[in-house]
A and B are shown apart, each in its own frame.
Chain A
Amino acid sequence: MQLAPVDYLILATYFAFVLGIGWILRKKISTSGDFLLSGHAVPVWITSLAFIAANLGAQELIGMSASGAKYGMMTVHFYLIGAVPALIFMGLFMMPFYYGSKARSVPEYLKMRFDEKTRTFNACTFAVMTVFSSGISMYALGLLLQLVLGWNFSTSVLVSAAVVLIYTFLGGLTSAIYNEVLQFLLIVLGFAPLSIMAVIKVGGWAGIQARVAPKMLHAWTYLGNAKENSMGVDLFGLVGGLGFVLAFGYWCTNFLVVQRAMAARNMSDARRTPMIGALPKMFLPFVVVLPGLAALALSQMGVGYSIPIKDGGPDYNQVLTTLMAKFYPAGMLGVGLTALMASFMSGMAGNVTAFNTVWTYDIYQSHIRKNAPDRHYLTVGRITTVAGVLLSIAAAYYARRYSNIMDLLQLVFGVVNAPLFATFVLGMFWKRTTANGAFTGLITGTSAAVATLCLTVAEGKGGWLGNVHEFSSAMAQNFWIAMVAWTTCFVVTLVISLMGKPRPDSEMEGLVYGLTKIPRDEGARWYQRPVPLAVVVGIIFIAFNIWFR
């Protein structure tokens, strides 16, 4: 694929705008709270789009269009059951505690509700994960650009990291959030035409139906038996593993996304952020999954498109970029590539800003230097931004050198957070939960996840410590490990808590259900109130599932 000067012009325009937004917002920063938390001043439509955009990294975009070609319509589960119920739950039931407790981060809530050790454990695992995640996605982007455009790996990695560093350094979280919205709009406007053209080319949905196996065209119909569907998962694994444990674990406890909602102006905005975000989330499959499916149909037509091959097998990760090369002329091609860069940057900025806050408040302020003036923490936050970006770059090169270790790390990250949601459910809704219960539960749950990974095999991977069970697919393994980890954490936390002495109610006001006043927004219009909004989002969610069945 060859780029024309106009494509570079478009890329340069984009860089100028993201840096310009950072430059304008730099004046707003005077405290560490402005830099790390946006000072609770961001409008709700912006927090909502940023909430979704921080999750829509380059790997997500490339990976989900690849899944569209590999698994077909079942991929939409990641946008529906793997997100929407969790988003509604988060807004309705969890946000009152996050926002109401005045915690500055998810680990800090754990400190307020439980104790220092639970917070530190969560802060450390989270910090390591964000650095490696942004490193892995940087590596994925560098590799793809090298493959498709012949760009030098180091140049694309370093330039894109430098841009992210500059705008997050200048404007902190606000700059990251504002740019995430711009990036989100660019991703949608840059990829929607591709989806439309590819589907028109294959003759619409009927054309796809005529060329693709029926099991690729349904989300629910073939879930009765793991061997019959394209993903190799069964109904219980999908609903329990993805829809419950992984989705709630990710959307409700991952500070990367929760931070966006916490930046909202007031409680009502914070609660509505995940639910308003759910609306564009449900439409993303049309932009992200559909091109993959259309590419599969297109490869059957003999019009000069085939699924790219790497090492003798299909390389679905290149589906999105090869489609772009076939449908976008110079000009629009630049927009498409810029959108890809934008998705990478929104994911990376999300990781960097979350890492920043957790490091500065939950590790540095609570363990290294406690009572410094705020100006000191602002400086630490800024230095951490630089350090976070440098560590991510190091992780990207590490990933390039030891790609097998990175594959393993990704498997571990996929399940390591699964038990955390059990800790939160019990902590937020059962006031009897004790600090020791939560900590022991979290440790055993996390260990259970890693142990299950080491004791089971799927697609020839895993089973380093023995082979107790063989799963029908890596996806099924992932879902079941999540359920094992969650259940272990839940049961252990429950048992240990019952053996210990409960904390007095007076210490837990604002932290636990039943001891917290949940505000009622009397007099506000229906769409300004969380509950009616949740009902509307829920109805649209059900309608989509029936449509895609």
Chain B
Amino acid sequence: MLDLRIPSGWFFALLGAILVAMGIFAPETRAALTEANVNLYCGAGMLAFGAFMLILAHLAARKPR
């Protein structure tokens, strides 16, 4: 059975990477009501979440049942 943590981990890691890249290379992309570099922070959060899912999946795969 497919371990869902693997595709969702990759999905959020990829999304996070796109957003972080936006945050670094196009830092002037801002929304009307906030001063923050939203892409950078949200991207970093998603990247971390994706990595966390992948680590969990990796640990689960190594531990035999």
Contact = CB atoms under 8 A, between A and B. Distances in A.
Most chain A CB within 10 A, of B23, B43, B46, is at: B46
B19 A303 contact: no
Contact of A185 (B8, B23, B34): B8
A185 B12 contact: yes
A215 interface: no
Interface of B is mostly: helix
Contacts of A185: 8, 12
B33 A182 contact: no
Given A6-B22, A17-B11, A332-B38, A305 B33 contact: yes
A329 B31 contact: yes
A284 interface: no
A24 B38 contact: no
Given A10-B15, A201-B34, A329-B30, A25 B39 contact: no
A193 B38 contact: yes
Nearest to B39: A331
Interface string A284-322: 000000000000001000011100000000000000000
Contact-size category for A: 35 or more
A330 B22 contact: yes
Given A17-B11, A185-B12, A329 B2 contact: no
B2 A25 contact: yes
B14 interface: yes
Interface in A341-381: none
B43 to A, nearest CB: 8
B22 A13 contact: no
A41 B2 CA distance: 11
A326 B18 contact: no
Given A41-B1, A197-B34, A201-B34, A332 B39 contact: yes
Nearest to A42: B1
A335 B42 contact: yes
A20 interface: yes
A25 B23 CA distance: 35
B32 interface: yes
Contacts of B1: 28, 41
A329 B43 CA distance: 12
Q: Which 7 A-B pairs have the closest CB atoms?
A: A331-B22, A331-B39, A326-B33, A329-B29, A329-B31, A17-B11, A326-B32
30 contacts: A10-B15, A17-B11, A20-B7, A21-B4, A24-B7, A46-B4, A181-B4, A181-B8, A182-B4, A185-B8, A186-B11, A189-B46, A193-B42, A193-B45, A197-B34, A298-B33, A303-B33, A304-B32, A326-B32, A326-B33, A327-B31, A327-B32, A328-B38, A329-B29, A329-B31, A330-B29, A331-B19, A331-B26, A332-B39, A333-B31
Interface of B: 1-2, 4, 7-8, 10-12, 14-15, 18-19, 22-23, 26, 29-34, 36, 38-39, 41-43, 45-46, 49
